[in-house]
Structure formats: C-alpha cells, structure tokens
Structure 1
Amino acid sequence: MEDIFITEFLNLDNEFKELGVFDSIINRDSPFFINLLRLKVNKTPEFQGSYERINSFYRKIMILLDSSKSKEDKLYRAALKLFHFPGVSGINLGVSETGIDAGFGSVLSKQVINDAFDIVKSGSEQPEIFQLVGLFEKNVSADRLSDMIATIILPDIRNYTIGINRKLNINTDKYPDIEFQGEIAINPYKKCELLYLPEEVLHEIPIAESWSDIDRVIQENQAIRDEVNEAVGKEWRKMCSADKKEYLKEHIFKNSERCGRMIENYRTQTIAPYEIESNAEYLVASTFKQIKREGIFDVLSHSAKRELSSLEATIEVLSIFRDWIENNRGWDEILSASTSKREKSLQRLLHLSGKYYCTQNNIDMAFEANEGPGPVDLKMSRGNDKTVVEIKLSSNADYIHGYEEQIEEYAKAEGTTQRVFVYVKVGNPVRDDKIESLHKFRLENGENPPKLFIIDSQKQTSASKR
C-alpha cells in the first residue's frame, strides 16, 4: 500500500515544514510517540498547559486511590473508570499497520490501577509515577503511553489542528471534496478526525528487536539509572524485561524513599529535540513523496509502442532513478540517511519507484523487493521473463562478493540469466576503480558478467562548475 501523507492529501507544499507541523502518514501509523519530556519544554502556544493538564489528571487518580480503603470500594472503581485510554487514531502515531490503536484495554487498565494502588499505599503519591508506568507494567510501551497522553491532551491537539487549518485556509470552501467535522478534516482512510501535532513534541519509537522500551527509558534518564544501579547493580543485565519491570515495581516504586528521590530527579530531566527524518522508515517515505511531487517518474515509457522486456523496464526505471540522484539533488537525500541505513533506504526507495513507475505507465509487471532476510534485492518480472537486481553502496566491503557471487546465486535461484548489479558511489574512489576495472576485464575476456549500472550519489557540484 502506497503511503499517503497529510500534505499530499491536502495538496500542500512546504507549509507544514515551515510551521513545524508533523506531516504524518494518514493511511497507516508513523513510528513516533509523544514524548513527555519534550512536551514539558515545548514552545507551541496550544500545548503550553499540556504537561500540567497531564499531571493534574494523574493527580486526581492518585487522590482517589489514596482515599480508597480497598480495591473493591467506590473510590477505587472511580479511579479505574478515569483510567480509560482507547487511543487517538487521528494523530497517526504508533506501530500499528492497520492504524487501529491498541490503547489501554480493560485488562491492562485494571493491572495498572491495581499496582498504582499498592504504590500509593506504600507512601508514593507523585503524579509522575504514571508517566513512568512503562517501567513497571508489562505490555506498556512508548506507543501506548503516547495514546494515554494524546487522550488526556486531546482538547489541546484539536485546538492546535484548528489553528493550523485557519492559518492555511484548510476548510470546506477550499476543499469541497473533503469531509469536515466542524473545522477539522476527516481522514478518509481511518474515518476519524485528521489531527496534527508539532514535530517538537515527538520522538522515535524504539525498535523492539534492538532494545526494550524499559532499557531505553532508563538509558535516557540519569536519575532512574542511578536508582537502578544502587538497588540491583550488575544483576540488572541478567534479568529479562518482565523481571526488570517487576523488580522496579517492588524495589523502587513501592519504596517511598527511593521512589521520591527518583521522581524529584526525574523532574529535572530534559531531552533534546528529535530530528524526525533521522528515522529511516519515515525518511524513505518522505523522500519518495518528494520524488512523486517532482514528477520524476511521470514519464511515458517505450511500452506505448511495444511491450517492454523485464530487462528493458529495469534499465528504464534505474535510469530515471539515477537521473533523480545525480541531477535532481537526490544524492542529498541519500547522504542524509545514517551511514548504517543508506543501503537499505536506497533499496526501499528503488522498490517504491519501480512499483510507482509501473503503475503510472500501465506496465503489467511485478516489481518485487526483499523486505526481510531473503536473497535478491529487487526483481522485475513478467511471467517467466525475470531480471534480478543486486544493490551495493561503495561503502559496503562486500561489493565485489555481491558482484561476482551473490547476484549469480540469486539469478540461478530465479531461473534467469538477466542480472543487473547496481553500484552506488558514496565516496570510495579506490573501490570505484576496482569494480569498473574488474567489469571491463571480464567483458574483454569474453565472460558474461551482470550488467554494471553505476549511480553517483556523491555530493554534486553545480552544472556551471562542472
């Protein structure tokens, strides 16, 4: 499914960027969350009271629990009723592929309030305890906390959205084909309000496979880390995530002295603004949005005259993609990705471009990409006519292995002799010379090497200087 951004939906240019508005993907979730520490120091007028609104809400629950005599009485049930966070789909944040927020279901809500009651009764009543609920509750991570925050500050989010819509004249007069509820547009993909957030309050959701959310929070907060080190020391590393949360609940949060000291220190913590496009997934989607806007792939292909072979279509897609990189500052976009993610980002961009090109030009081909640990990077196919593509950046030490062996194995597995090795220059002149010399030598020796397709993604000088 092709990603659709708010600015595409509303046919805007750079207005969101200039105003600091997060341009979310509206037909699925974007991997970010509302960071409380960023919300605490934000400069956006509509959110100046949001942090206190959150603590005020938590404080009400704490008072109810403190006044409650048991987990069956009226005050306890009132606290549980208040703790209701189904999620706010309109902000388009989280990790859901369907766009349906998990939020806090009844089971999880009961679990949190049950533990909060025990914590309050142990002598800790600071409202910030709920900000750190992910540290002591199973199944509570950054995106769920973000849902909780968004629910509490929903009035502020709506006011901010209306303010931006007024500034940019996003209304029924200008957009008669879009449904509005009051002054807020309706997201046709999720059938909910289309809500905006400022970039400055967001942060990236950690990748679960790389690190657990609990360790991320502890790593970012010196105060919490100090308490953990004092309480458990080296044993911490041996614990699984669930055991860590249980330990923190019993030995930090239920220890009023330690909990109070941790919260006092936590209140002084800050976190630097997050650069949204340092998230590789969002960067690729955002870059491709720009490629579409520039019309790079909106060209008539040879197919208007005859049916393209898979190899011809592959070369045509690669040629247009190379032109974007070398002559339309695409190299700047490629180099803006972190070094470790450039190759995967380039593969994903090329995959999106191939699919979009085929759709735009009514070419009946499957442009397939390896989305996981499987073999071939890209494959263009029409029936049994297949062309495999392997992509390597010059920064990849395995570039020769990719050219001589990997692509041959992939071609054999696909039952084809049509291979294209895409070599992307990112600043390794010795390797550039080596791959070109090797390719020339193999051709002169009468071999049948894969077609070498070179893309120069190094910083380009202006045309006049060249």
Structure 2
Amino acid sequence: MGFFEEDVGPDTISDMTTTVILEDLAAITEDFCTANGVPLFSFEIGMGHMLPKFVSRNGREVPIVLIPMDIVRELPIANDWERAAMENARIRDRVNRFLGSIARPTVADRKDALRYAAMGSQADFDFFLAAVKANVGNYDPNLDALGYYRLKAIIGNGFADLKQATSYDLKLPRVVKDTITQFKRHVEAGNLWEELWVGSKPKKERASQLIYYAIADAFCKANDLDISPEANMGGGPIDFKFSSGYQARVLVEMKRSGGTVVHGYERQLEFYKAASQTEFGLFVIIDYGDLGNKLNEVKRIRDERLKNGERASEIIVIDATRKASASKRK
C-alpha cells in the first residue's frame, strides 16, 4: 500500500491489518490464556471472545490481544520490493518499455513505471505481489534486526545497567549529551555493540535508535524531562526531541555511517532545528567501519559555520565496530 498510495506508512498498514484479522487474534488470545490460566474478561472488541486486561494508572481497563510471533514481519522497504519485482522478466520488460523514451529516468520515473507495470492487469498485479511476497519473511527474534526484543529486555529489567538516577541542576543540553555519553560508553566499552549487529552485518538504524531511546528515557524519567521519538517537525520526523517546558528544546539526529551522513548534518538537522525553533542539536554518527571521508566533511562544515559566527550542532561519533572479547582486547 505504501507503493500504490502516498502517505501510507507502517503504522497505518499495521492498524488496517490488525482490524481485518482481529477476530482471529482474539480467538488465539482466548485459547492461549485459557490453556495457561490467565484471567479473562469481556470486552467489546473481543467479538465474543474473552481477553486478558491491563489496568492503567488512572484505573482504565485496556484489553490485551496477543500476536503470534510467526505472523510478525518487517514491511519490505522500497529497495526490497523493487529489486524483487524487477527479477520477474514480465514486470522488468514492461518497466523498460515505460522508461524507453526517458534518457535519464529519475527515482520518481522508475517508481511510476513500476506502478504502471504492476497495475497493467490483474495478472501483472499478481506477478508483482508474488515477487514481493517471495522476499518477505517473518521477523526472527533470534536475529532481532531492529532491536525490538533487546529493547523489551532492557525495559523488563528496569534499566539496571543503563539508567542514571542523579538529578541535574544544569540545563537541558547537558542532560541530553549525558544520555548519548552513556549510550556511547555501553557500545564502545561494554558489550552493547553486539546488539547492533546481525552476524557480520550491521542491524538497521532502527535498532540503535530503540536502544538509545531506552537509555534516554531513563534519564528523562529521573529528571522530569520529556522525550519524543520521531517527532514530526513539519518536514519529516526528527529521531529524538527533548524538551523541558515550552521553550527549552534539544534535537538529536542519529545516522548510520553508511547512510546520508553529510546531508543529514548539513541540511536535515538544520531544517528540523528551524522548524522546532531551537538552536540546540546533536548529530550522532553510529560508525560501523564504513564512515570513510564523511566525518572529515561534516567536521569541515561545522568548523566553517563556527568561523562565520554561526551556531553549529555538535558531532558525536560512536564506534560500533565489532569488538574482540574483553580477554583479547589490548
């Protein structure tokens, strides 16, 4: 749906899918809880099925619906489904015909051509859908490529190794920087780097963001501050927005070393800062060993801004490369 309709993202698709299969999920939840002695209660959304409940702090009773692990999966991103679809000769030929008259097709041109190719007929759409499905598997909790289960474990043990309970009499930027310092220490000097890799490949950017969020949230709770992940600043979501009251705001943008580091620092973070009406931003680079000359370039941009008397966001590099065990480190 994100391919055929604009402004449709993972949350919308998940909500729609859950609505369609809700009765089946309720039945599975009721069967599991009955077999394991979990108390059940009647709710309107259960469609006749009894469900367990969660009682919030204000006394509100919220039904719980369990999701089987084998139906949870990552949504295929653009490169995944485009590559999968183009492996099908029938779709590839149709796409090439649409692009034949364009000397230098843009990303938008290729996307439009693929849409036309897939929507040419019922058979063409079936080919497209089959190609996408063939490249999507369920989310493997053992690999945990996005760090969801690691985040669950961190939250479950009460942040024993991660939180900082000391209260600050200092300003918000100092607190935010300390959250990053804590994350950096656990990745570089501890074993948290292991949670950022799947075998020999770095996990997706989302994994580092989720684990950092767990650490930062503990700081914010201890110091009565607000943290908003993926807050939309008007032109897209900044990774993290910290605030204390209305005027005090600090933004944190986090990039993988293999991503658009220079653009993220030079343009993206500055746009978010302007939209959020703040001059305070921190740019965090998660270095998996493929940073290359990007660090020199963003440092050059920062030095030039400071030389011109402008405020420049601080750059923090976190070494997330694979480490030897503690016994083998020199």
Q: Same fold (TM over 0.5)?
A: yes
1:161 Cα deviation after fit: 6.5
The residue number in structure 1 matching 2:255 is 392
1:367-423: CA deviation from partner (whole Å, max 9, x where unpaired): 443469615332222221222222222112x32333344333433333333221212
Letter in 2 for 1:460: K
The residue number in structure 2 matching 1:354 is 216
8 Å contact from structure 1 (residues 376, 410) kept in 2: yes
1:202-258: CA deviation from partner (whole Å, max 9, x where unpaired): 46275598999xx9xx98xxxxx99xx8xxx9699757669628998xxxxxxxxxx
The residue number in structure 2 matching 1:296 is 161
Aligned 1:380-419 pairs, distance under 5 A:
380-382=242-244, 383-396=246-259, 398-419=260-281
Residue ranges of structure 2 left out of the alignment (5+ in a row): 1-9, 42-49, 56-60, 96-113, 127-133
8 Å contact from structure 1 (residues 367, 380) kept in 2: yes
How far apart are the structure 2 equivalents of 1:196 and 1:375? 28
Residue ranges of structure 1 left out of the alignment (5+ in a row): 1-30, 32-93, 104-143, 166-170, 172-177, 220-224, 249-269
8 Å contact from structure 2 (residues 173, 250) kept in 1: yes
The residue number in structure 2 matching 1:434 is 296
Instruction: Name the TM-score, length of structure 1 as normaliser.
Output: 0.44
- When residues 435 and 302 of structure 1 are mapped into structure 2, their CA distance, relative to the original with a 3 A threshold, is farther
How far apart are the structure 2 equivalents of 1:443 and 1:239? 47
The residue number in structure 1 matching 2:315 is 452
1:463 Cα deviation after fit: 2.9
Aligned 1:126-141 pairs, distance under 5 A:
none
Letter in 1 for 2:54: P
1:410-445: CA deviation from partner (whole Å, max 9, x where unpaired): 333333332212121111263376268648966996
The residue number in structure 2 matching 1:179 is 39
- When residues 191 and 245 of structure 1 are mapped into structure 2, their CA distance, relative to the original with a 3 A threshold, is farther
8 Å contact from structure 1 (residues 278, 337) kept in 2: no
Secondary structure of 2:255's aligned partner: strand
How far apart are the structure 2 equivalents of 1:443 and 1:401? 15
Letter in 2 for 1:179: P
The residue number in structure 1 matching 2:58 is none
Letter in 2 for 1:393: R
- When residues 357 and 433 of structure 1 are mapped into structure 2, their CA distance, relative to the original with a 3 A threshold, is closer
Aligned 1:23-422 pairs, distance under 5 A:
95-96=14-15, 101-103=18-20, 144=21, 158=31, 165=36, 179=39, 186-188=52-54, 197=68, 199=69, 201-202=70-71, 204=73, 206=75, 238=116, 244=122, 274-277=138-141, 283-292=146-155, 293=157, 295-303=160-168, 306=169, 308-336=170-198, 342-359=204-221, 361-370=222-231, 374=236, 376-382=238-244, 383-396=246-259, 398-422=260-284
- When residues 426 and 180 of structure 1 are mapped into structure 2, their CA distance, relative to the original with a 3 A threshold, is same
8 Å contact from structure 2 (residues 72, 138) kept in 1: yes
Aligned residues between the structures: 270
Secondary structure of 1:102's aligned partner: helix
- When residues 344 and 370 of structure 1 are mapped into structure 2, their CA distance, relative to the original with a 3 A threshold, is farther
8 Å contact from structure 2 (residues 148, 210) kept in 1: no
Q: Which has the larger radius of gyration?
A: 1
1:340 Cα deviation after fit: 9.0
1:297-348: CA deviation from partner (whole Å, max 9, x where unpaired): 3321333xx2x42201111211222223223422222223997972244334
8 Å contact from structure 2 (residues 286, 317) kept in 1: yes
Using CA pairs below 8 Å that are at least 6 residues apart, which structure has the higher relative contact order?
1
1:101-139: CA deviation from partner (whole Å, max 9, x where unpaired): 534xxxxxxxxxxxxxxxxxxxxxxxxxxxxxxxxxxxx
8 Å contact from structure 1 (residues 425, 432) kept in 2: no
Secondary structure of 1:407's aligned partner: helix
1:286 Cα deviation after fit: 1.7
- When residues 332 and 384 of structure 1 are mapped into structure 2, their CA distance, relative to the original with a 3 A threshold, is same
The structure where helix makes up a greater share of residues is 1
